[in-house]
Structure 1
Amino acid sequence: MLLRPGLMVLTGAIGTTALHAHHTVQIMKSESAFCIGDEHGVTASCQAVVIPPNTSHRVVEGAASATLIHLAPEAAVAPILCPEPADAVDGWVRHGAMFSSGPIGMAAIVSGAVEPDRSAWHPAVRRSLADLPGLLADGPVRLSELARRVQLSESPLAHLFSAEVGLPFRAYVRWLRMQHAVRLFAAGRTLTEAAHGAGFADSAHLNRVCHSMFGAAPSQFGQLRLVDEFGDP
C-alpha cells in the first residue's frame, strides 16, 4: 500500500465486497478478469474499470493480483479519468478501456499531477486543508472551529470548501480519518488504537465507516505492507 495526500494505492489479491461507495475516483486493473457490479444488479467481467466518486459498486468476483488506485476528487487527473457521469457498469468499463488497451499506465497516474494547483484557491480553503490532518486525533472536527481558525464565517467556508475541494467538508474529513486509520493499522497498531488515533469514536465506528467506503472490514488492511514508491505490476 502506498499512501500520500489524496492518494491510496493497493496492490495484491482482491476479494469480493459488499455494495459500497467512497468519495474517491477508483481505478481497478488486473491482468486477469474480475467481475464488478452496480447498485442495479448489473455485472460485467473486465480487466480495468474507473469508478466515479460516490458511486455504489461491489466486487462480485475478485482477482489473484490487481492494482487499485483511489484518487481524491480534487486531484488534477480526476476529470480526465471521469469525463462524463457513469453510475453503471458499462460506463466504468468504458472509462477503464484507457488502461486495459490504451497507452496510459497506472504508474503514470500515480506519478503524474496528483496534487492539484491550489495557488488560485481561496486562502481559507488552503489553510483548512493544511490544518485538518493535525486535528483528526482530537475527535470531532467542527466546521465552526475551522472557520474561526481561518477567520471566515461558517457558511461561506462550507461553500468554498465543496466548490474547490470537490467534496463537502464532513465527507472530506471522513476520508482523511479513514486514510489515517488504514495507515496506523497497516503499521501494526491494533484496531482500537487505529480508530482512536484517527479520531473515530471507537473500533465499531471505524468498522462501520470502512464497510460503507470499501465494502469490507478494516482488519483486511492489517495484511498490507506500506511502501514509498509505486510501479506498474
Structure 2
Amino acid sequence: MTIRPGLAHYRGALGANGLHHHHAVQVLISRGEPLIVGDAQGNEVECLAAVTPADIPHTIVRGVVDGEMLHAARESVYGSALEALVPEPHSAASWGQAGARLLELGVAGEWWRAGDRLNSPVAMPFRHPALVASMQLLPDLLAAGPVRLREVAAAAGISESRLGHLFAEQLGLPFRAYVRWLRLSRAVEFIARGSSLTEAAHLSGFSDSAHLNRVCHRSFGLAPTALTERIKFTVVE
C-alpha cells in the first residue's frame, strides 16, 4: 500500500468482508473477473469497478485475486470529485455506475495519481515556497502534540489565511485534514518498522493508542495493526 496525506492506494487481492463504513471515499477496481459489492439494503451489483462515498455502509460480497483499492479523504478535492460521480450515495448499483464512469476516463497504471482526469489535481507542478517550508516543518511538529495553522504560518512567514488557502489549492486538502493524514501515515510507518502501537501513537502526536486506533479505523475501517500485518507500506510525502 502507498499512503500519503489524503490518499491510500493498495494493489493485490480484495477479499470479501462484512458490512462496514469509514470516513474515506473508497474505489475498488478489479484487474480480472468482476467483483460484487453490496449496500446496507441488501442490494448487490457485479462490476469491474465501484466508487463508494464516505461514511456509507458497504460490503465486498465477492472479492478478486487481483484488484486495486483507493481510500481518498472526503475533504480532499480528489475525494469530492469521486463522490460527485455517484448519483445515489446509498445504492450499490450507483456505485457500480460510478466505477464504470471512472473506467471510461481511461484509468490505467498509477491512475490514482492522475487526479487531473477527474478535473481535480491532487498535486501541483508548482508549490508556493511558504507551503513547501510548512510541509518540511510539520514532521518535526507532530510528536509535540496539537499542530496549529497559526503557528506554522508564522514560522513560514506567511499569513494564516493565505497558508490555509495554499493547502487547499495546491495540495487539495485542508490543513487539519492534511495533518491528520500525515499523523496516520507516520504512525503506520512506525508500526511497520517494529514500534509498538503506543510508541507509534506517541511519536506521531496522537494522545494515546486508543486515539490512533479510532482515527485509523474511521479512515480505513481497520485498526493500524491489522493494516500492517497484511500490507507492505510505502509512505509518500
Q: Is this a same-fold pair by TM over 0.5?
A: yes
Q: Deviations over 1:32-81 (max 9, x none)?
A: 4232437xx575423311346xx222332352534212356466xx7875
Classify 1:203/1:56 alpha carbon distance in 2 versus 1 (closer, same or farther; 3 Å).
Answer: same
Deviation at 1:2, TM superposition (A): 3.0
Q: CA-atom RMSD, angstroms? A: 3.4
* Whole-angstrom CA distance in 1 between matches of 2:185 and 2:51: 20
Contiguous gaps of at least 5 residues in structure 2: 116-120
Tell me which amino acid in the other structure corresponds to 1:167. Answer: L
Q: How do residues 62-141 of structure 1 correspond to structure 2 at under 5 angstroms?
A: 62=61, 63=63, 65=65, 66-71=67-72, 73=76, 84=85, 86=87, 88=89, 89=91, 90-98=93-101, 104-105=107-108, 107-110=109-112, 116-119=123-126, 121-141=127-147
Distance 1:82 1:126, change over 3 A: farther
- Matched-pair contact (CA < 8 Å) for 2:6–2:178: no
Kept in 1: contact 2:216–2:224 (CA 8 A): yes
Structure 1 residue 169: Cα displacement = 1.2
Deviations 1:117-168 (A, max 9, x none): 241x443233323332333233221112101111122233223333433322
The SS at the match of 1:193 is helix
Residues 205/70 of structure 1: CA separation in 2 closer, same or farther (3 Å cut): same
| 2:215 is aligned with 1:215 | no
Separation in structure 2 between the aligned mates of residue 172 and residue 43 of structure 1, nearest angstrom: 35
Deviation at 1:205, TM superposition (A): 0.2
Q: Quote the residue 1:226 is aligned against.
A: 232
For the residue of structure 2 that corresponds to 1:26, the secondary structure is: strand
CA distance in 1 between partners of 2:97 and 2:167 (Å): 31
Query: 1:17 & 1:42 partners in 2: Cα distance?
Result: 10
Does structure 2 conserve the Cα–Cα contact (< 8 Å) formed by 1:58 and 1:215? no
Sort the Cα spacing of 1:128 and 1:36 in 2 relative to 1 into closer, same or farther, 3 A.
farther
User: Which structure 2 residues correspond to residues 139-154 of structure 1 after superposition, within 5 A?
Assistant: 139-154=145-160
**Is 1:165 the counterpart of 2:171 in the alignment?**
yes
Partner residue, 1:27:
27
Name the residue aligned to 2:183: 177
- 1:8 is aligned to 8
1:195 to 191, 197, 201: 201
**Number of equivalent positions:** 218
For normalisation by structure 2, the TM-score amounts to 0.72
SS across alignment from 1:57: coil
Counterpart secondary structure, 2:181: helix
Are 2:50 and 1:46 equivalent residues in the alignment? no
- What's 1:231 paired with? none
In structure 2, distance between residues paired with 1:42 and 1:153:
50
- CA pair 136-81 structure 1, distance change in 2 beyond 3 A: same
CA, structure 1 residues 85+125, in 2 after alignment: closer, same or farther (shift >3 Å)? farther
Offset of residue 182 of structure 1: 2.0
